[in-house]
Structure 1
Amino acid sequence: MAWMPPLHRLLSPITADTGAMIEQVQLKPLYYAAQKDALARAGDDEDDQFFELAKLATGLSEKELDQLKRPDYVTIAHYVHEMSTRPSAFFLGEPEESSSHEQVKLLLPLDAAGRTLTELPLEMPALRATKVMKKLTTNKERAEFITAHCTGLMIPDLAHLTVPDWTQLQERIDDFLNQPAAFFRNATST
């Protein structure tokens, strides 16, 4: 069964921009590119960042969000925090150790190169790829380059990953970049 974001029943209903009553909000997954854009719009203020991400996660307008009672907003902010910081294994209910270093199970399917992917194969980067990566200007450019290299995706495809999938990939790629060979031998020998 595919993962579905939770439905949040509002403690206190709000009025939609259309005048209708909103009693529940179907939460949505956060996607890598949309989150990156929302955070850029919000600037450095953490409250503004959560508000921008809450708009993405709920589909509510600013006026509708402003009507939320604090307990409802806290619930949504908690969801946004988990979506922004937890790997896909958390949402799929799998222990992180259950994923191999060669495959990452995706939270939601990814359409790339005419295929629908539910898992991404991972390949350890060659030294020449890390040399190219280090020459890039920003951390974001370096992360996108090495992620595309290790997954075989094109950089534009990364935009369509959910944030938890991105987080899961970054954890694996960090291992590739920083762990010695023995780490991988120990992880695969049981």
Structure 2
Amino acid sequence: MSCYEEVAVTVPSSSFNAAADKSLLAKIISTPPFAVDRKAVKWAWRGIASQLNSSLGTNFSFRSCRDRAGLLLRKYAVRKRRNEATSGTSEVLTDDDDVLEQLMRLEDIAIIRVQTQKAATASKTQELETMGQRLMQAAEKRVAMRIDITEGYKSSKPKRHRLSTLLDKEQEKAAARRNLEAQKVQRHREEL
């Protein structure tokens, strides 16, 4: 090995234990990543991981912190359902159950907030699409009335054409007018 080769420094990985779990849950409660916008979630977890690493002297990645928190929440949800299913027995509570319950509530609130925002956005989009369709229909009616007037039709209800069809017809008429004008110019040149 020459002196110019770089050696990749390996950082020993840390494993979670009860103290690390408790500290992780405390960091998550202090800065809940569930309330953060979707684009900033990664940075929220990086902040949690760096706080955890600095306080415990460990080397957890943000992914391992996120995955561990998800695992703890899933385990708690399963244990909670199991305790609710077995009525008549006393619940076995751990020290972290209160914190996990708070995290589940925060996550549920964040999910509901995101769903209401999506519903509001969807309804706003639907409203805009409906308004656009109404404007398009009104334009089609105006163009159809103009065509009926120019062609001399007298009907109680003008026939509505698709706007693309009407535009095609107008382009064809414009091309025909240009051809007639070109023919007139050609005849005029021949006469001179």
Length-normalised TM-score, structure 1: 0.30
The higher radius of gyration belongs to 2
The structure with the greater share of residues assigned to strand is 1
Of structures 1 and 2, the one scoring higher in RCO (CA 8 A, sep 6+) is 1
Length-normalised TM-score, structure 2: 0.30
